[in-house]
């Protein structure tokens, strides 16, 4: 009998239960273990490359739940990432996906594209925006893009009132920079209210995960090196992320990717040791945060969706929401389930994503909450895209809700 190396699949089947794609499709070939077998067969030359093989590999959310729950330590995430790059090289990708990788590779390209898209949002007739869709989501249901990139709107350094208790670097990611400036403003407000000096390094750029998912290895490597240069500073207490996918990239992919390509890893490892998601950081400061909150008035009925990259790399934010006063926290019975967003998955596989998102919406409605919080910008777009603009339920980043609880700003509904 052959001894089993660490990281090889024992075919126990545990990953099947946590794979959201398998849960919808109920096919063996849609399981994480099947993808691993396909990759091994391809790498050993037993299985030829084909567009169908690419399809089987790519029909995956890259949620990381399989790797996080595998008792044999199979690193699905990196193996899928390398295989996706290989498949993209051999079989190409859709024009839109290639366009996205091209834009994300350079901040100035992204700025131009966002500017053009924002013009489109203001000029395209409502009927057009209702009719045309990104996956199943009508253009009209997409969030309005920022008028100005968030990092241009704010200064690089922010000081708290009173004594400075430490220094934080804030990695905003592309979504806060170009779509959800309110999340950025709220994050700044919370961190400075806790007494921290906050630096938003100007040179930061895309975390590279969307590029890595679609084979843009070289561009991703350049972005990673650029981000490491920006975030490698002395005297910093923590690197804060408001997006769990960016957080997972800083914590795991930056050092792993640089090691794979023979680059120096020490700065990336130091950053990885300091990175934390915003809600975990706030939870660590619970005693300081609670006295800052205005808990007068009726408690807001809130529920929460745990993004996969948060639950697999950090800790879901509901532990903070449950611990704070003045919140009527109503857990959804499926809060930990994947929403089907998965970067570009909701666009590439709208039917699978639609089934997952519909189940999530039903769970949030069952909870009875009026506010649905989630930390991931793609989850937010995917979930809010399924609701009508005048829905009784609205989706926001937890930072926006918590910042509104500071001081006299308390409101009943965002
Ligand atoms: S959980 Fe790990 S060992 Fe078990 S079937 Fe899945 S990949 Fe294989
Ligand atoms: S990353 Fe997520 S969707 Fe992909 S195989 Fe693993 S559990 Fe399934």
Nearest CA to ligand 1 atom 2: 70
| Residue position matching structure tokens 């009132």 | 161
Residue 25's pLDDT is what? 97
- Is 62 a pocket residue for ligand 2 (Cβ < 6 Å)? yes
Q: What angle do CA 180, 184, 185 make, to 5 degrees?
A: 110
Looking at the fold, whether 301 and 390 belong to one and the same domain comes out as yes
Do 398 and 318 contact (CB within 8 A), yes or no?
no
Q: Concatenated DSSP letters for 284-333?
A: HTHHHHGGGB---SSPEEEEE---HHHHHHS--THHHHHHSTTEEE---T
Residues in contact with 97: Cβ distance below 8 Å, sequence separation at least 6, in sequence order: 214, 344, 348
In a domain, 377, yes or no: yes
Residue 285's pLDDT is what? 98
Looking at the fold, whether 157 and 270 belong to one and the same domain comes out as yes
In a domain, 409, yes or no: no
- Is 64 a pocket residue for ligand 2 (Cβ < 6 Å)? yes
In a domain, 346, yes or no: yes
Nearest to 16 by CA among 63, 66, 60, 53: 66
Q: Which of 30, 32, 65 to mutate for ligand 1's pocket (most ligand atoms within 8 Å of CB)?
A: 32
Element (H, E) at 85: helix 76-91
- Is 300 a pocket residue for ligand 1 (Cβ < 6 Å)? no
Distance between CA 3 and CA 369 in Å, rounded? 52
Summarize pLDDT for 137-159 with one digit per residue, the tens.
999 999 999 999 999 999 999 99
Nearest to 172 by CA among 278, 316, 305: 278
In a domain, 411, yes or no: no
39 SS3 class: helix
136 SS3 class: coil
- Single out the residue in 51, 69, 91 at which a domain terminates: 91
- Is 32 a pocket residue for ligand 2 (Cβ < 6 Å)? yes
| Residue position matching structure tokens 């990281």 | 7
User: What does each C-alpha distance from 321 to 3, 104, 122, 300, 374 come to in angstroms?
Assistant: 46, 33, 36, 11, 11
Looking at the fold, whether 194 and 304 belong to one and the same domain comes out as no
Looking at the fold, whether 58 and 18 belong to one and the same domain comes out as yes
Looking at the fold, whether 161 and 265 belong to one and the same domain comes out as yes
> Total structural domains in the chain?
4
pLDDT at residue 346 is higher than 90: yes
- Is 14 a pocket residue for ligand 1 (Cβ < 6 Å)? yes
Strands 137-138 and 275-277: unpaired
Residue 393's pLDDT is what? 96
Ligand in closest contact with the CA of 6: 1
How far, in Å, from the CA of 7 to the mean position of ligand 1? 9
Nearest to 347 by CA among 168, 169, 187, 137: 137
- Is 66 a pocket residue for ligand 2 (Cβ < 6 Å)? yes
How far, in Å, from the CA of 147 to the mean position of ligand 2? 35
Range 402-411 burial, b when 16+ CB lie within 10 A, else e: bbbbbeeebe
Looking at the fold, whether 157 and 276 belong to one and the same domain comes out as yes
**CATH number of the domain that residue 212 is part of:** 3.40.50
Looking at the fold, whether 178 and 205 belong to one and the same domain comes out as yes
- Is 36 a pocket residue for ligand 1 (Cβ < 6 Å)? yes
Nearest to 152 by CA among 190, 101, 203: 203
What would the two tokens of residue 258 be? 């640089």
Residue 297's pLDDT is what? 83
In a domain, 220, yes or no: yes
Looking at the fold, whether 195 and 260 belong to one and the same domain comes out as yes
Residue 234's pLDDT is what? 95
Nearest atom, ligand 1, residue 69 CA = 1
In a domain, 181, yes or no: yes
pTM of the shown model: 0.94
Average pLDDT over residues 273-288: 98
What would the two tokens of residue 362 be? 């039903």
In a domain, 389, yes or no: yes
Percent helix, strand, coil in the chain, to 5, is: 55, 10, 35
Looking at the fold, whether 255 and 194 belong to one and the same domain comes out as yes
Q: Concatenated DSSP letters for 206-264?
A: --SHHHHHTT-HHHHHHHHHHHHHHH--TT-SEEEESSHHHHHIIIIIHHHHHHHTT--
| Higher per-residue confidence, 68 vs 297 | 68
Q: How far is CA 377 from the centre of its chain?
A: 6
pLDDT at residue 4 is higher than 50: no
Report the percentage of the chain scoring pLDDT > 70: 97
- Is 33 a pocket residue for ligand 1 (Cβ < 6 Å)? yes
| Higher per-residue confidence, 119 vs 414 | 119
Average pLDDT over residues 363-382: 97
Nearest CA to ligand 2 atom 5: 32
Sign of the torsion formed by the C-alpha atoms of 128, 129, 133 and 137 = negative
How far, in Å, from the CA of 77 to the mean position of ligand 1? 13
Summarize pLDDT for 47-90 with one digit per residue, the tens.
999 999 999 999 999 999 999 999 999 999 889 999 999 999 99
Looking at the fold, whether 102 and 87 belong to one and the same domain comes out as no
Looking at the fold, whether 353 and 378 belong to one and the same domain comes out as yes
Ligand in closest contact with the CA of 36: 1
In a domain, 264, yes or no: yes
Structural domain that includes position 195: 150-283
- Is 309 a pocket residue for ligand 2 (Cβ < 6 Å)? no
How far, in Å, from the CA of 389 to the mean position of ligand 2? 31
- Is 60 a pocket residue for ligand 2 (Cβ < 6 Å)? yes
- Is 21 a pocket residue for ligand 2 (Cβ < 6 Å)? yes
Q: What is the mean pLDDT of the chain?
A: 94
Q: Which of 7, 29, 36, 73 to mutate for ligand 1's pocket (most ligand atoms within 8 Å of CB)?
A: 36
Looking at the fold, whether 278 and 154 belong to one and the same domain comes out as yes
Summarize pLDDT for 213-266 with one digit per residue, the tens.
999 999 999 999 999 999 999 999 999 999 999 999 999 999 999 998 899 999
How far, in Å, from the CA of 63 to the mean position of ligand 2? 5
């Amino acid at each position: 009998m052959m001894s089993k190396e660490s990281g090889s699949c024992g075919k126990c089947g545990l990953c099947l239960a946590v794979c959201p794609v398998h849960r919808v499709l109920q096919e063996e070939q849609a399981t994480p273990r099947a993808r691993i077998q396909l990759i091994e067969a391809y790498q050993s030359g037993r299985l030829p490359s084909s567009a169908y093989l690419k399809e089987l590999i790519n029909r995956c959310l890259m949620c990381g739940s399989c790797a996080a729950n595998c008792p044999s330590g199979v690193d699905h995430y990196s193996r899928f990432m390398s295989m996706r790059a290989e498949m993209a090289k051999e079989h190409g990708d859709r024009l839109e996906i290639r366009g996205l990788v091209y834009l994300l590779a350079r901040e100035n390209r992204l700025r131009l594209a966002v500017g053009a898209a924002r013009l489109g949002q203001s000029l395209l007739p409502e009927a057009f925006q209702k009719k045309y869709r990104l996956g199943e989501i009508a253009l009209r249901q997409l969030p309005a893009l920022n008028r100005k990139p968030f990092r241009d709107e704010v200064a690089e350094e922010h000081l708290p009132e009173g004594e400075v208790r430490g220094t934080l670097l804030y990695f905003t990611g592309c979504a806060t920079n170009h779509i959800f400036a309110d999340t950025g403003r709220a994050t700044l407000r919370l961190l400075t209210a806790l007494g921290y000096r906050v630096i938003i390094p100007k040179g930061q750029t895309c975390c590279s995960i969307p590029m890595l998912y679609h084979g843009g290895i070289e561009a991703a490597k350049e972005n990673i090196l650029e981000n490491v240069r920006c975030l490698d500073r002395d005297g910093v207490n923590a690197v804060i992320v408001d997006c769990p996918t960016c957080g997972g990239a800083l914590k795991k992919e930056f050092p792993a990717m640089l090691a794979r390509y023979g680059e120096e890893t020490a700065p990336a490892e130091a950053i990885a040791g300091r990175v934390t998601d915003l809600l975990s950081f706030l939870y660590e400061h619970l005693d300081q945060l609670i006295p800052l909150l205005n808990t007068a008035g009726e408690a807001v009925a809130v529920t929460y969706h745990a993004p996969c990259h948060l639950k697999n790399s950090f800790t879901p934010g509901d532990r903070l929401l449950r611990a704070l006063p003045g919140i009527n926290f109503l857990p959804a019975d499926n809060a930990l389930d994947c929403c089907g967003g998965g970067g570009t998955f909701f666009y590439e596989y709208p039917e699978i994503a639609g089934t997952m998102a519909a189940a999530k919406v039903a769970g949030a409605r069952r909870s009875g909450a009026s506010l649905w919080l989630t930390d991931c910008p793609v989850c937010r777009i995917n979930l809010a895209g399924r609701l009508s603009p005048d829905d009784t339920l609205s989706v926001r980043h937890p930072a926006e809700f918590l910042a509104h609880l500071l001081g006299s700003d308390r409101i009943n509904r965002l």
